[in-house]
Amino acid sequence: MKEQELIALLNDLSLEEKVMQLVQLPGVAYESGAAVTGLLNDTAKARTLRLAGSTLGIWGAEKLNRLQRQYMENHPHHIPLLMMLDVIHGHKTVFPCPLGQGATFDPELTEQAAAVQAREAAADGIHVTFSPMADLSRDARWGRVMESTGEDKYLNGRMAAAMVRGYQGEDLKSGASVAACVKHFAAYGAAEAGRDYQNTELSEHTLREQYLPAYQCGVEAGARLVMSSFNTWDGVPSSANPWLMQTVLRQEMGFDGVVISDWNAVGELVPHGIARDEKEAALLAMRAGIDIDMCSGCYEKHLQELVEEGKVSRDMLDAAVLRVLKLKNELGLFEDPFHGANPEKAQAVLGAGEHRALARKAAAEALVLLKNEKEALPLKGKKIAFIGPYADEKHLQSAWAISTDREDSVTVWQAAREAFGQDAELRCAPGCLMLAEGTTTSLEVFTCPDAEKENARLLSEAKAAAAWADTVVLCLGEHFMQTGESASRVDIGLPEPQKRLLNALKPDCKCLATLIFCGRPLTLKEECDLSDALMICWLPGTEGGHGIMDVLTGHEAPSGKLPMSFPRHVGQEPLHYDQYMTGRPRPREGIGSFTSHYLDCPNDALYPFGFGLTYTDFRVSEIRLSGEALSQTSELTAAVTLTNIGKYAGTAVLQLYIRDLVGSRVRPVKELKGFRRITLRPGEEKEVVFAITEPMLRFWTINRRMESEPGDFQVWIGLDSTTENTAFFTLTDKD
């Protein structure tokens, strides 16, 4: 449909029809079995069902096509309904959780994974996914770090853009694409004390320099939607903040797509205390620039009245409605309301072999090896025991993989039997219950009759298996509902029964390799001390077992790097590598009275951002700069020679960091500015060259704009954020 036809359609709509295009209903209004991802209210009325412009939480080609037909037949202008769903890291085929994808440092792989998710979701009737989450996440207490790609703005931006490109493809009208929604705008990752839905307290400088860039990358990649965040910033909730939504997002970033609230975020302006009632909440949200009200009912109940009273102009309403109609048009829904979805296509696409193969590759790439003493890995012993609650656990997805079937997942134990064959000497034992009695997850309290007796029985089996084995692979981790939305925690250690299991088994183990399944950084000091090998598996998805066994057996070498720092103690949170230098830095040696330090814990992470081992060793040469100075328009190159000095082939992730030594505002001690994945055979070497340009050096200066400042800079190239392989250059003020 051409734009003039869209405008003609808009002008022909009644006021009620226009308002209802901005109303999103929960899927349960149409189907009792739909997924519920927020608090329900009483908005589902007959007229809403007939006119509401979008819904969410339902999937299935046959079901949604039937709903689309009914909706369009009943709509006065036969406008199609938008179908949205949280396809966060997979639809039928589930990839590692986004934090695990961040660990790959592989945007190309993430783009391919997003394309698979789009292909499956579109075949199943979905038009829009609420992804990527571009929130900068530096506090592991916040459960939603699982949905992010970590603590670094550069990595987050690269990954957000990759996801947008993968979801949307080259043509949104294609039946293999869905529209992407960048969320949560803005700064939701800085929720105070890591507590969901909480205020964020950031200066404009920190907001602009650290938190906004990743969203901007998603917008520049072409995302057609942006979602407002629950949190307040500068005392104003995002869904009522015109400066954030209009000045920053639309004017400065140039976003011309649809802005949608998070679930009931408009209604929550009332308990926030910024609106006296739902009518005022609707007024504030419209003035801020919220196009679609997700499931609060405020627009449905009050927006028409606000327009009739002149409090919301008809031009403002028309602009919002036109953006929604344009999105439907970009998706091709006026020509094909089903967006190419049908049951036969869905059956052929969902869980396809090539999709699972890519998920397997992603699961392997996401693994981060933190320790490997006595060459515990790859596995060598003849008798291997797989012990722990995750040894044969199929729920390897996060709580946000709502449309998959966990029975399709491959467990570690299943994959081990495939990898070693029927004649291998293998044993499996759960060892303990996943959680302690009375543990609260995001949806329920875990209970088990006679939990103490059951744990004793399971431990007895596990100890016998450990004493028998040459190597124990201990599979521990968070319950999948202990991480994600509404899953903030002050204790980010492993569940207590699993800690007891580790300590009880250690004396019986000849060699102990511990695998950790999680959606956030955990405190793992004890687990590190007691294990010969320690590897982070995240929530690895449908092919998690296969990907893990590919690495454990040495068919693939681990290559993942930490996208978030793992703390020594939860008291260090929020923790991130790119901190500002204080006026009283802690000395390199000793404590140093009256300096910035803890009395009872080192300042640094147990495992820093960018860290990850592999089965071989790499040597990085000194940095070779192409010159000593960089002008405003020239390019400087920084080169190193990377050499595989070990006995296995392996992949290194070389990382480029830069520090502005003196600025008009205090600068971070170092910032990631580039990375490369390089695979080398034993003895092989390769020159790796990074380009450095003036735009890479810009920041929010004292002049309140993004710009660079002439002066001295330090550059590092190495294998993690603690590298000391460094050189210096100068930025001049001349072209």
d(CA 81, CA 16): 16
Residue 480 CB partners (closer than 8 Å, separation 6+)? 395, 396, 397, 398, 399, 519, 539
Catalytic residue among 262, 291, 532, 720: 262
Q: How far is CA 36 from CA 58, 180, 322, in A?
A: 9, 20, 28
Nearest CA to 188 out of 156, 154, 220, 155 is that of 156
Q: How far is CA 300 from CA 12, 17, 237, in A?
A: 20, 11, 21
Q: 């004793």: which residue's tokens?
A: 456
Peptide bond into 587 cis (omega under 30): no
The encoded tokens of residue 142 equal: 């916040």
Q: Are 262 and 227 a contacting pair, CB within 8 Å?
A: yes
d(CA 437, CA 292): 42
Torsion sign over Cα 110, 111, 112, 116: positive
User: At 80, which amino acid appears?
Assistant: P
Phi, psi of 234 (to 5 degrees): 55, 30
User: At 723, which amino acid appears?
Assistant: T
The encoded tokens of residue 281 equal: 């909440």
DSSP 3-state of 718: strand
Phi, psi of 147 (to 5 degrees): -85, -10
**Cα Rg, the chain, nearest whole Å:** 26
The encoded tokens of residue 73 equal: 């037949």
Terminal-to-terminal C-alpha distance of the chain = 48
User: At 270, which amino acid appears?
Assistant: V
In terms of C-beta density within 10 A (0-12 exposed, 13-18 middle, 19 or more buried), how is residue 430 classed? buried
What is the β-pairing status of strands 629-630 and 726-731? parallel
Whether residue 262 lies in the annotated active site = yes
Torsion of CA 412, 414, 416, 421, to 10 degrees: 180
Nearest CA to 455 out of 364, 382, 380, 389 is that of 389
713 conformational bin, left if phi > 0, alpha if psi -120 to 50, beta if neither: beta
Burial 237-272 (b: 16+ CB within 10 A, else e): bbbbbeebbeebbbeebebebbbbbbbbbbbbbbeb
Q: Are 608 and 721 a contacting pair, CB within 8 Å?
A: yes
What is the β-pairing status of strands 82-85 and 128-129? parallel
Torsion of CA 327, 331, 333, 339, to 10 degrees: -150
Strands (E), 330-382: 368-372
Catalytic residue ranges:
262
